[in-house]
Amino acid sequence: MAAIDGMLASVRAQSLPPMALVIVDQYGDLMALACMDGVTPFMRDYATKKAYTAAHMGADLADFAARLKAQGGSVTEYADSMLVGASRGGLVVRVGAGLVVGGVGVSGGTPDQDDAIARVGVATLTGG
């Protein structure tokens, strides 16, 4: 998948640490996954949860976390163990007039690194 290839190339070009890269559809079902050498099972699962949360909530993780904080809420209120609420590196994929078609999740770097690599994936998927 071109989006995974683009994210892997960006990680390597920047000499970032090993990362887990995940793309899900609008339902949170796995479409593509890549784990670089050195990625732990936790990192893979966390990237998956980031992508899932972005797709299900229709929001980038930073925005979802801000919304929860503003409402005094918590992800536990959703009774969905796949949701994460205090992180970056999970971005929603939208097309057309804002239709949610999936999510991208990245784990393994700093929050800024995860977010930047996820943006590469979203840009590839949306032609942006």
pLDDT in tens, 4-53: 999 999 999 999 999 999 999 999 999 999 999 999 999 999 999 999 99
| Residue 33, H or E segment | strand 30-35
Q: What is the pLDDT of residues 45-92, one digit of tens each?
A: 999 999 999 999 999 999 999 998 899 888 888 889 999 987 899 999
Contacts of 9 (CB under 8 A, 6+ apart): none
What is the CB-side half-sphere exposure of residue 128 using CA atoms within 13 A? 11
Phi first, then psi, for residue 20 (nearest 5°) are -100, 135
83 vs 61: CA distance, rounded Å:
10
Angle formed at CA 95 by CA 8 and CA 28, multiple of 5 degrees: 65
In terms of CATH, what superfamily is 2-126? Answer: Haem-degrading domain (3.30.450.150)
Domain extent listing, the chain: 2-126
pTM value? 0.95
